[in-house]
């Protein structure tokens, strides 16, 4: 159990589709949590720009991009603290329940018409998500023995749960509810989704058995009370940082440097040269992760604003969908292609041609770069008389980004559980999400410039050309760094000592 860190004890017996039935509790719980998150995410930047920064004129989108980037970065940044709390204090099950409850409250606060209350709601969501998101992912890894070949497929199935919720949420929360009744009611709908996720997780907790229970000596109510008080206190600095982008960026750099120092120290302290090498490889892949999400996470900010202003929407049987429907496209493609990838990796492995983890990361970086080039090409060659591009080109960009994501994100989740010491998997998963946090912060800054921040774009023509210029830079960055990881893969594989 929790007190025996190096011994694997399987979850309660019973399988569904060849996997422990506990996986399906986590699948459904994560479905509703992602429904909450992506429903809110589809509306966040455009709602903030219209409701709170409209007085800034052509700088409204840019300012909203910084708020969006600050929020999405801290959503992942708090994961490393949530992983520590779960590993050492509460256990994963109680961390998930407390985090989910806080997110529900925060979502309902987003209905507020004033910016301070709205930002406070975002801060509550951020702190709650830190205790929920990394820990439910870690629990997936704890359902399988270290050498269980089903682990990667299990994570891919779990990833489908994430994206099923993410596909439905923008259509329901932003398109059906938000567009018709106002985005504040869309936030309410998203909050109800989180409540449903908590109900599923608690109602099916018997499937989890000992997995994720409290560490030995921490079983009583006092640790829960103490963490709750600390979480409420933490909301205050998070609220402050949402409005202080430069300070947040500095804090992220400090936290990432501390993470590097900790894992190098832990590797040395373990007395195992092999473990030290694995942590060095893991940290190297964290850097690739940050870059990938800096590019990929334009989806909720600059690509969302691009869809609103410069993309011709299709008309289907007299119905023209809202531009926010693009926020579902990535998730729909994930659902379509995740099973293909889940079957493809084992098949390639049997033929001894399965790309290594570093080369899968390289493919992800190159793919996200190519997606941006599609938009650069469309802007340069396919604008209509109104200065807009076809919805098919943005959809193609999302398709390529999705295929890139499937090469990196579920593989990364699995990679962390393989390379980390068993007693540090929660902390290591928090480190993975801290790397994503750095990428999301950078994504907000990139979107700031893509949307004309600092006076970079004025008017329709200069606006779309500003997008093109920034996207071209992203293409070259992703292509060059992806190639670097591709060619240094043998060295990283050597450091991983047999982990595949």
Please, which residues have CB within 8 angstroms of residue 381's CB and are 6 or more apart in sequence? Answer: none
Please, which residues have CB within 8 angstroms of residue 336's CB and are 6 or more apart in sequence? Answer: none
Residue 459 — pLDDT band, cuts 50, 70, 90?
very low
Tokens in use for 170?
């923008």
Tokens in use for 202?
């608690």
User: What does DSSP say about strands 15-16 and 19-20: parallel, antiparallel, or unpaired?
Assistant: antiparallel
* pLDDT for residue 456 is more than 80: no
Q: What is the mean pLDDT of residues 484-498?
A: 91
Distances (CA, A) of 252 to 63, 68, 257, 279, 435: 20, 16, 9, 20, 9
Q: pLDDT tens digits for 117-168?
A: 999 999 999 999 888 877 887 788 788 877 777 777 787 788 788 888 999 9
Query: What DSSP letter does each residue of 19-78 carry, written as one string?
Result: EETHHHHHHHHHHHHHHHHHHHHHHHHHHHHHHHSGGGGGGHHHHHHHHHHHHHHHHHHT
CA distance 448 to 456: 9
Please, which residues have CB within 8 angstroms of residue 349's CB and are 6 or more apart in sequence? Answer: 500
Count of CB atoms situated within 10 Å of the CB of 292 = 29
* pLDDT of res. 455: 59
Q: pLDDT tens digits for 20-72?
A: 888 888 889 999 999 999 999 999 999 999 989 988 887 888 889 999 999 99
* pLDDT for residue 461 is more than 80: no
Q: Residues 5, 423: contact at Cβ < 8 Å?
A: yes
Q: What is the mean pLDDT of residues 211-223?
A: 79
Q: pLDDT tens digits for 309-339?
A: 999 998 888 888 889 899 999 999 988 998 8
Among 369-373, 464-468, 480-484, name the one with the lowest average pLDDT: 464-468
Residue 2 — pLDDT band, cuts 50, 70, 90?
very low
Compare 491 and 139 and report the one with higher pLDDT: 491
The per-residue pLDDT of the chain, averaged, comes to 88
Count of CB atoms situated within 10 Å of the CB of 344 = 13
Name the β-bridge partners of 20: 15
Region of 321 on the Ramachandran plot (φ > 0 left; ψ -120 to 50 alpha; else beta): beta
CATH code that applies to domain 17-496 = 1.20.1250.20
* pLDDT for residue 399 is more than 90: yes
The separation between the first and the last C-alpha atoms of the chain, rounded to the nearest angstrom, is 26
Residue 416 — pLDDT band, cuts 50, 70, 90?
confident
Q: Residues 467, 374: contact at Cβ < 8 Å?
A: no
* pLDDT for residue 1 is more than 50: no
CA distance 36 to 459: 35
Q: What is the mean pLDDT of residues 377-388?
A: 93
What are the phi and psi torsion angles at 420 (to 5°)?
A: -80, 155
Residue 429 — pLDDT band, cuts 50, 70, 90?
confident
* pLDDT of res. 411: 84
Tokens in use for 453?
């921040």
* pLDDT for residue 494 is more than 50: yes
* pLDDT of res. 438: 92
Domain limits, the chain: 17-496
* pLDDT of res. 293: 96
Q: Residues 410, 155: contact at Cβ < 8 Å?
A: yes
Please, which residues have CB within 8 angstroms of residue 95's CB and are 6 or more apart in sequence? Answer: 82, 85, 86, 131, 132, 135, 227
Name the β-bridge partners of 15: 20
Please, which residues have CB within 8 angstroms of residue 198's CB and are 6 or more apart in sequence? Answer: 29, 97, 100, 101, 104
* pLDDT of res. 462: 56
Please, which residues have CB within 8 angstroms of residue 240's CB and are 6 or more apart in sequence? Answer: none
* pLDDT of res. 417: 81
Q: pTM to 2 decimals?
A: 0.84
Q: What percent of the chain has pLDDT over 70?
A: 97
């Amino acid at each position: 159990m929790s007190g025996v860190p190096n011994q694997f004890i399987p979850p309660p017996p019973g399988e569904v589709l060849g996997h422990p039935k506990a996986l399906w509790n986590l699948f459904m719980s994560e479905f509703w949590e992602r429904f909450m998150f992506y429903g809110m995410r589809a509306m966040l930047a455009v709602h903030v720009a219209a409701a709170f920064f409209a007085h800034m004129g052509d700088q409204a989108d840019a300012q909203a991009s910084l708020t969006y980037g600050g929020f999405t970065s801290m959503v992942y940044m708090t994961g490393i603290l949530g992983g520590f709390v779960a590993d050492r204090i509460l256990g994963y099950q109680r961390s998930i329940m407390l985090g989910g409850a806080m997110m529900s409250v925060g979502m309902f606060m987003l209905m507020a018409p004033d910016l301070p209350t709205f930002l406070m709601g975002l801060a509550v969501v951020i702190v709650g998500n830190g205790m929920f998101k990394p820990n439910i992912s870690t629990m997936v890894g704890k359902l399988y023995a270290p050498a269980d070949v089903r682990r990667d497929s299990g994570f891919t199935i779990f990833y489908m749960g994430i994206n099923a919720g993410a596909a439905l949420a923008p259509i329901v929360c932003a398109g059906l509810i938000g567009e018709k009744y106002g985005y504040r009611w869309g936030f309410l709908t998203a909050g109800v989704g989180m409540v449903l996720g908590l109900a599923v997780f608690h109602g099916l907790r018997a499937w989890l058995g000992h997995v994720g229970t409290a560490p030995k000596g921490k079983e009583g109510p006092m640790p829960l009370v103490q963490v709750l008080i600390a979480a409420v206190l933490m909301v205050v600095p998070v609220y402050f940082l949402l409005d202080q982008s430069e300070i947040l960026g500095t804090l992220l750099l400090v936290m990432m440097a501390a993470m590097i120092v900790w894992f190098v120290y832990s590797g040395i302290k373990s007395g195992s040269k092999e473990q030290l090498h694995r942590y060095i490889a893991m940290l190297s892949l964290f850097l690739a992760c940050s870059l990938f999400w800096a590019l990929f996470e334009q989806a909720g900010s600059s690509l969302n604003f691009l869809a609103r202003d410069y993309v011709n929407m299709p008309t289907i049987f007299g119905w023209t969908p809202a531009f926010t429907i693009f926020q579902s496209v990535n998730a729909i493609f994930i659902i379509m292609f995740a099973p293909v990838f889940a079957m493809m990796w084992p098949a390639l492995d049997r033929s001894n041609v399965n790309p290594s983890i570093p080369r899968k990361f390289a493919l992800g970086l190159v793919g996200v770069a190519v997606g941006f080039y599609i938009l650069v090409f469309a802007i340069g060659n396919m604008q209509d008389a109104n200065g807009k591009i076809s919805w098919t080109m943005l959809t193609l960009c999302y398709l390529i980004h999705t295929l890139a994501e499937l090469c990196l994100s579920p593989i990364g989740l699995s990679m962390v559980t393989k390379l980390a010491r068993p007693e540090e998997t929660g902390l290591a998963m928090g480190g993975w999400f801290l790397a994503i946090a750095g990428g999301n912060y950078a994504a907000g800054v990139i979107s700031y410039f893509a949307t004309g921040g600092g006076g970079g774009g004025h008017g329709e023509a200069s606006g779309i050309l500003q997008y093109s210029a920034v996207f071209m830079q992203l293409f070259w960055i992703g292509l060059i760094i992806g190639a670097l990881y591709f060619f240094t893969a043998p060295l990283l594989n050597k450091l991983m000592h047999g982990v595949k």
